[in-house]
A and B are shown apart, each in its own frame.
Chain A
Amino acid sequence: MENFEVAREDRAGISILRLKGFLDAHTAPQFEQAIQQLISEARYRIIVSMADLYYISSAGLGVFMGFIEEIREKEGDIKLSNMSDKVYKVFDLLGFPALYHIFKEEAEAEREYNEK
Chain B
Amino acid sequence: MKNKMQRFRLKIPSVTENLHLIRDFIIKIADNAGFNIENQEKIALAVDEACTNVIKHAYRFDSRRLIDIAIQTDAKKIKITITDKGGGFDINKIKDPDIKKYVKEARHGGLGIYLIKTLMDEVQYEFNPGVKNQVQLTKFKEGYKAV
Q: How far is the CA of A70 from the CA of B103 in the complex (A)?
A: 9
A69 contacts B20, CB within 8 Å? no
Instruction: List the A side residues contacting B119 at CB < 8 Å.
Output: 93
Q: Is B115 an interface residue (CB 8 A)?
A: yes
Q: Is A90 an interface residue (CB 8 A)?
A: yes
Instruction: List the A side residues contacting B114 at CB < 8 Å.
Output: 94
B103 contacts A26, CB within 8 Å? no
Q: Is A67 an interface residue (CB 8 A)?
A: yes
Which of the listed residues B23, B48, B100 has the most CB atoms from chain A within 10 Å of its own CB? B48
Cβ-neighbour of A26 out of B17, B108, B110 (below 8 A): B17
Q: Is A38 an interface residue (CB 8 A)?
A: no
A24 contacts B48, CB within 8 Å? yes
Q: Is B19 an interface residue (CB 8 A)?
A: yes
Per-residue CB contact flags for chain B residues 80-119 toward chain A (1 = under 8 Å, else 0) read 0000000000000000010110111011111110110011
Q: Is A107 an interface residue (CB 8 A)?
A: no
Sorting the interface of chain A by its residue count into under 10, 10 to 19, 20 to 34 or 35 or more gives 20 to 34
Q: Is A113 an interface residue (CB 8 A)?
A: no
A62 contacts B109, CB within 8 Å? yes
Instruction: List the A side residues contacting B49 at CB < 8 Å.
Output: 57-58
Instruction: List the B side residues contacting A22 at CB < 8 Å.
Output: 20
Which of the listed residues A58, A61, A69 has the most CB atoms from chain B within 10 Å of its own CB? A58
Q: Is B16 an interface residue (CB 8 A)?
A: yes
B108 contacts A63, CB within 8 Å? yes
A94 contacts B97, CB within 8 Å? yes
B100 contacts A99, CB within 8 Å? yes
Q: How far is the CA of A112 from the CA of B41 in the complex (A)?
A: 33
A residues apposed to B, CB below 8 Å: 1, 3, 22, 24-26, 55, 57-59, 61-63, 65-70, 86, 90, 93-96, 98-99
Known: A26-B20, A57-B48, A65-B111. 16 other contacts (CB 8 A): A1-B20, A25-B19, A25-B52, A25-B56, A58-B109, A65-B103, A65-B106, A65-B108, A66-B106, A66-B107, A68-B103, A69-B103, A94-B99, A94-B114, A96-B99, A98-B99
